Chains A and B, each alone.
Chain A
């Protein structure tokens, strides 16, 4: 990196390697700046990597993600550190010192992803990439198109040196159980915060019974259940017994627009549920979908997507928020709401229920030292410190990309302002 610094006019640190971070990085680097991406996960791609399809075009998100991966790989001005976090940011615009801690993944660059380690590993863990819908071994590949395409060891469950079966099995000397955390300090002109979001913890809405009633899942779990690289290879089957889902309900505003949870509208959940209704309708022609809502919010051109979905007679919209969920017989789920159009309090039974949980900015649970945040956990911009994507405001992927380009522009001026 030291040699790169002499050639570039400006250096930008991008915190977060999701869609916003990658976009900001690529845009800044392709304009001639040197960029360092710091990603907490052991892979790049963030939330977009977990999505099945984009709305409204219903195209696969991995497509755009791979383009960005390629632009990063081929651009010498971009460096990235996965499994890394910011320890501190000090200094001022044009002259920041950023400390990064790179956590050990215990697998080095010799890894060719042959899977021999996984075959011998005796320990299983809940697969966080699939929200616990399936399991991986303690040594695992984050997902089948991960970048870097490299295995990782989960230290929380790995037995370490006492087991070391993977070390024996690896023919490439790629596993080093003694790998230590690494500290990196770099100088930067500006920092872009693109730490994204987490699905709001659905267990906090006690009346929606997530985690208590079987077959109540979140919208992000629905993405994984529908993805070809997900736990069911894209077949939408409910978690408790693998029954093919024929009758599904979506619960809108599950924790959003709610002063007891997320006080803001999460912007994407209405579009996400309309999109996910299509997943099940396309997979199963007889399927029935019920969407319980307060208001369907499909801003701008998305309104046409809503109209299209509404044409499907098997998709029913009920105005009235679900505020109680209980287990029905045979692992079915009973939801309760007021159908405001008929002025009746109704209970309906479904194979599976999807909670359209909102976006909680990652700043609500993990703050990057050096940045200021709103009460909700959204990042606040300052001189030389810019915020992009969902860490600034809830937004969809295309808006995140536009926002990231704007943040990259600001980051560049921090180095070049005259």
Chain B
């Protein structure tokens, strides 16, 4: 930007954006008096154009464009070192968390759905969508008020309940496709905006920085630099790898069902079951650690907002109902087993279909920003 342009640049405050940051956990934003203690104690920021001090100013002034198209907001891992040392209690960590939420809302289409996912008013509507779909599928199979489905061995079989090929899979495949399309559109726009503000060095290579970023995500090396909330990287790692484990399990099950033609349930000693169960327990422990850390650090790091807690609760429900569904199935308590499995499906749908708008989207946007930052030599 030339000096000429710089002087002509006029700040157009977006007051709605400021109000939204304040409402989403950045309630103490206006206390910031720009001392930059936050930037100095931050272990994540690059030395050139460091964060989060300037981001605090942009947020106070409602400079939405400068914030949400900035890769730096995702380099922040919300360690809360800044928040703990902030002399004014302005909680920069929480403010950047709120800004990230709004970046997700801004980039993932359709925006009305993004608004609904982040507003507790619409929670029941969002839950009602999968509930009605699944109830309808149960109804057309005659299970809703009729017999309790059992397989040919007389056992509880969740695959019988919503027989996969024709009923359940199309629903989940469409939900997943919808999420993927929304994500692709979102990150394309995000990448273009970032490149406008931080021109990429000529000859820089996206593939290399993607590989480096994946290595970084797997090792959690940057996350481990946090001081105030040290244990968070362990908790996150557990949740992250459990998700990968569950992803592997799902693919494996698809292979059993569609390639080998073996329908569930599978015996507990089946290697796929072992991976699945370990991952489920890992997820439960991981998300419990996440919750504990959040509660323990609330005084120093802030309480978090609806957007943070919704994501945690959804993962909790998925982990608990998944484990309980299996236990009640093995105990042969049919109505309970099917009910719990039903709830499990509703929340899995919630997690995947709404992923581009919930905190789950951090997975995609953070990765994109990290790849960009590496390529732009900001990390």
Contacts and interface: CB of A to CB of B under 8 A. Distances in A.
Contacts of A321: 35-37, 40
Contact of A294 (B33, B39, B54): B33
Interface residues of B, number: 20
Contacts of B48: 343-345
B88 interface: yes
Interface string A205-216: 001000000000
Contacts of B109: none
Interface of A: 207, 253, 257-261, 294, 320-324, 336-338, 340, 343-346
Contacts of A346: 47
A343 B50 contact: yes
Nearest to B57: A340
A83 to B, nearest CB: 38
Given A259-B87, A337-B40, A340-B53, 6 more contacts: A207-B41, A257-B33, A261-B87, A323-B41, A324-B40, A343-B54
A253 B36 CA distance: 12
Given A253-B35, A324-B40, A340-B36, A259 B54 contact: no
Interface string B77-102: 00000000101110000000000000
A337 B50 contact: no
B49 interface: yes
A261 B37 CA distance: 14
B292 interface: no
B85 A260 contact: yes
A263 to B, nearest CB: 9
A257 B87 contact: yes
Interface string B49-80: 11001100000000000000000000000000
A338 B89 contact: no
A336 B40 contact: yes
Contacts of A338: 36, 39-40, 50, 53
Contacts of B35: 253, 294, 320-321
B45 interface: yes
Nearest to B84: A260
Nearest to B47: A345
Contacts of A336: 40
B53 A344 contact: no
B339 interface: no
A259 B88 contact: yes
Contacts of B85: 207, 260, 323
Interface centre among A207, A253, A259, A345 (most CB of B within 10 A): A345
A353 to B, nearest CB: 14
Interface centre among B35, B36, B37, B45 (most CB of A within 10 A): B35
B34 interface: yes
B47 A344 contact: yes
11 contacts: A257-B33, A257-B87, A258-B87, A258-B88, A260-B85, A294-B35, A323-B41, A323-B85, A336-B40, A337-B40, A344-B50
